[in-house]
Structures are given as structure tokens and as C-alpha cells.
Amino acid sequence: MRAVEVRGLSKDYSGRLVLRDVTFDVHEGEFFVLLGPNGSGKTTLLRILDLLEEPTTGKVFFEGEEVDYSKDRATLRRKIGMVFQHTVLFDMSVFDNVAYPLKIRGDLAKADIERKVARVLEDVELSGFERKNALALSGGEAQRVALAQALVAEPKLLLLDEPTANLDPKNVSIVEGILSRLNREKRTTIIMTTHNMFQAERLAQRVALLNEGEIRAIGPFRDVFGNQSLSSQ
Amino acid sequence: MVEDVFLQEIINITFLSLRVSGTAVLIGALIGIPVGAFLGFRQFKGKKTMMRLVDVMLKSIINTFMGLPPVAVGLVVYLLLTSSGPLGWLGLLYTPTAMVITQLIMVVPIIIGVTMSAVGSVERSIMEKALSLGATKNQAAFLVLREARVGVLTAIIVAFGAAISEVGGIMISGGNIRWFTRTLTTAIVVETELGNFNMALALGAILLSIAFVINLALTVLQIKGARR
């Protein structure tokens, strides 16, 4: 079953076309990577999928239903988690940051929130960080808190905008491990952008090559880039 | 006996000052924080040329009103409340209420202006992040206001500092009536003119102490904010 369907999507910023007739599907439980250089339209595409921006033309379907950008978006957004390239955390404790998406829903008991936060912090290897102020964390820790925020409500779709772009190799490895595990064990559908081909090869079941706002190729990494593995070179 | 009256008068003056300025700032906060937040939030919306122009005009007007001369405000309040004025029938001239109104007119633009800047300085990404996590627009707006809390508290403290140290406006609208509308600042003026320097110095010391406490609170808040 398709988790996301994108049909003929275009985005125009005051006459500057950043996405042109983009069409692709992402299957449920798939790890899908949008690969492309800076300025290729990856972030804009992800922001449209996260309902932060409206497409100029084209349609998006989530679990078979067309997304209506004119309606209240909060309900649909609660099924989607997003991690931004530049980590944004609130000036509160790690616990409160991670609990925020649950608290605003208002339908969970305090004990349930505490249990879910504890579990997700364990998943991102940050148990024991609950009381620390989120703004006092290192870059890698902060990005993992952002990941925990996106995961705590158990989204059906996880959108990641170059989540490791500003991290050191150790933290890149940790975050990639978390994402692989999440996709493998919980079957969470993931759409991630990156300009790193090695990372795309390591993580993606399929990649879409995006350049100048257009999808140039789509499929398993080796089909798109040939049989030679980058990691074996 | 004389000392008792002296002390009683100082206490009366101090409490009246705190009551008048405190009431003005409290009401000013109830008006100024929502208006300031609303204007600060305008930066998060799409910017069309017309909206930009409206924003610039609004912000310029508020910044101008932040520097209102107190005596001019006092004069306007006097003309409004005097028996032949449009609100003379209320009988509020030379009462603590008239002084509250005077200070309210002064502090509202200060609270609006500082709150507007504080909310406007919170990164747009905070709003987007909250929306992305499933917050409604109101929940996201409340979060931005929470992130700007140090700035909002600063607005209140700055407004209180301006109100408690103000003299010209409340002198005109309150009349500086002994035991009734005499505050720390207006009393210092009168006692100095009368040559009662002991009284003037005692009142000055109290005013200075209040100003110190306000500035201490402001500094602590700023240090806390800088550590974020």
C-alpha cells in the first residue's frame, strides 16, 4: 500500500519555479531518500509534505486520501513527524520538549506521557537527559532530541530534512542506526533528504534523484547509479 | 507624635505610589501584552508590500508613543477630566484614579513596544516547529509567547520603572494632595521646595530602593535570558 503519493507537484516562489511536475510514490514501511544537491528543491518538497507550505499545482495523497491544504492541518500533521536540518528546540527541559507533541493533544494521562517520553529517549540513546535544558545540549544530542520529538507520537510518516548534515561522524552513525532500527522494527515510513550519496546507499530502499526541481531518476540505489557500490570503492 | 505622623505619611506615600503604578502596569499589561504579541506575530505571516507598510507605520507610531512626555499626558488627562472637559462628569480629577489613567497612557505603549520586539525576535522556526509537531495556530502562538517570556517580563518591569519614577503627569492630573494623591516623586518635589530635606531625602531613598529592586530583577532576568 502507498503511504504517500505525489502527483504533478510544482512550487513557484514569485516566478521562480523550485519544483517542476514532481511525481512519485512512497510505500508503507519504505525508507525513501530524496537525493540531490543544495538548492535542488528537496527541502521545499519536504515542507509541502509536512503541510508547512502549499503546492502551486499538483496533488498529494496521504494513505490514499488527498491532502486538502485549505483545511485545518493540525490533525493530519499529528500523523507526520518532521526533523528539520537546523535543529530547533524549545527553551525548556528535554522532557518537556519531547512531551510537547503529546501534551498539545490533551488526550493522554500524565503517566502515559512519561512512559512514552522515557521509551523514545531510550530509543535515541538519551535516557537520563530528561531534566537538562534542551538548549544546553551538544549538536548531536540536540538533533537526537529533535528526532525523539518527531517520534514520540508514533507517526506513520517520518520526514527528515538532512538530519545529519551538521553532525560529526559519531553522531551520524548513531542517528543512522536509530533510523534503520526504527524503519526495520516499527515499519515507520521514512522520507529523508540528503546530498550525501554514501548515506543514501547505506539507508535507502529506493532513491529519487532530484535536480533543479525535477526528479531525474527513481528506483533502488543500484538501479539509479549502476551496480557499482560506492562503499566498495 | 510628630515622628509617628512623619512615618505614617511616608508609608502612606510609598503605598500610594506602589498602588497607582502597580494598578497602571497591571491594566497596561492586560492591554499591552496581547496587542504587542499580535503585532509581533505579524512578522510570521506572509509579507506583502501593503502589510509591510502597515507594519512599519504601526511600529513607528508605537515607538513614538513609547517616548510620550509625561507632562503632556498629564495635561491631556487634566483637560479630559476637568469639570468642563468631556469626562468631567466622572469627577475623577485629582484622584488616584486620574493618576492611574495618566500612567496607564504612558505604560501601554512601552509594554506593547517591548512585547512586540520580544515576540518578533523569537525565530520563525519555533512557530513552524510547533505547527509541524501538530500544534494548532493558537498553541503555536502561545509557545512563541512562552519563548519570549523574558522579553515580556522585561516589558512589565521597564513599564513599572517608568511609572513609579514619573512626576510631571501625575502632578497635573492628581494634584499632589497630601494624604490623598501625593506620591514619592511629587512629594519629593514639594518637600524640597518647602525646605523639608529630611523628608525629601527619606522619600528619595525609598524611591531609589524601589528602582534598585526593579533593576536587580531586570538584570537577573537578562542574565537568565543570556544563558539560554
Percent of chain B scored above 90 by pLDDT?
58
Number of H-type helices and E-type strands within chain B = 10, 0
Percent of chain A scored above 90 by pLDDT?
65
- Within chain A, residue ranges assigned H as helices are 42-49, 74-77, 94-103, 110-123, 139-151, 169-185, 197-203, 221-225
First to last CA, chain A: 35
| pLDDT tens per residue across span A6-22 | 999 999 988 889 999 99
Distance, in angstroms, between B115 CA and closest chain A CA? 18
CB pair distance less than 8 Å for A52 and B143: no
CB pair distance less than 8 Å for B133 and A101: yes
| pLDDT tens per residue across span A129-158 | 999 999 999 988 999 999 999 999 999 999
Contacts of B128 in chain A (CB under 8 A): 52, 84, 88
pLDDT of residue B43: 66
For residues B168 and B75, give the distance between their C-alpha atoms in angstroms, rounded to a whole number: 9
Please identify among residues 119-148 of chain B the ones whose CB lies closer than 8 Å to any CB of chain A. 123, 125-126, 128-136, 139, 143, 146-147
For residues B19 and B183, give the distance between their C-alpha atoms in angstroms, rounded to a whole number: 10
Q: Which residue of B has its CA nearest to A51?
A: B132
> Given B126, B133, B139, which is nearest A149 (Cβ)?
B133
Residue B200 C-alpha cell reads as 525629601
pLDDT of residue A199: 92
Q: Say whether residue A62 is in contact with chain B using an 8 A CB cutoff.
A: no
Task: Give the position of cell 514501511.
Answer: A29
Contacts of B123 in chain A (CB under 8 A): 88
pLDDT over 80 at A128, yes or no: yes
pLDDT over 80 at A230, yes or no: no
> Worst-scoring range by mean pLDDT, A166-170, A216-220, B121-125?
B121-125
| pLDDT tens per residue across span B12-39 | 999 999 999 999 999 999 999 999 988 8
pLDDT of residue A176: 92
| pLDDT tens per residue across span B84-99 | 999 999 999 999 999 9
Sign of the torsion formed by the C-alpha atoms of B203, B205, B211 and B216: negative
pLDDT over 80 at B222, yes or no: no
pLDDT over 60 at B60, yes or no: yes
Contacts of A135 in chain B (CB under 8 A): 228
pLDDT of residue A5: 95
For residues B99 and B85, give the distance between their C-alpha atoms in angstroms, rounded to a whole number: 17
> What is the rounded average pLDDT for all residues in chain A?
90
Per-residue CA distances from B146 to B127, B150, B195 (Å): 11, 8, 50
Model pTM?
0.76
Contacts of B132 in chain A (CB under 8 A): 50, 52, 77, 80, 82, 84
ipTM of the complex: 0.86
For residues A97 and A95, give the distance between their C-alpha atoms in angstroms, rounded to a whole number: 5
Q: Which residue of B has its CA nearest to A76?
A: B134
pLDDT of residue A46: 94
In the A/B pair of chains, how many CB contacts fall below 8 A?
53
For residues A97 and A86, give the distance between their C-alpha atoms in angstroms, rounded to a whole number: 16
Contacts of A84 in chain B (CB under 8 A): 125, 128-129, 132
Residue B28 C-alpha cell reads as 497596561
Q: What is residue B68's three-state secondary structure?
A: coil
CB pair distance less than 8 Å for A78 and B125: no
Sign of the torsion formed by the C-alpha atoms of A92, A98, A99 and A100: positive
Average pLDDT over residues B174-181: 94
> Worst-scoring range by mean pLDDT, A156-165, A188-197, A221-230, B139-148?
A221-230
CB pair distance less than 8 Å for A100 and B131: no
| pLDDT tens per residue across span A47-105 | 999 999 999 999 999 988 899 888 767 788 888 999 998 889 999 999 999 999 999 98
pLDDT of residue A15: 85
Contacts of B135 in chain A (CB under 8 A): 74, 100, 104
Distance, in angstroms, between B33 CA and closest chain A CA? 20
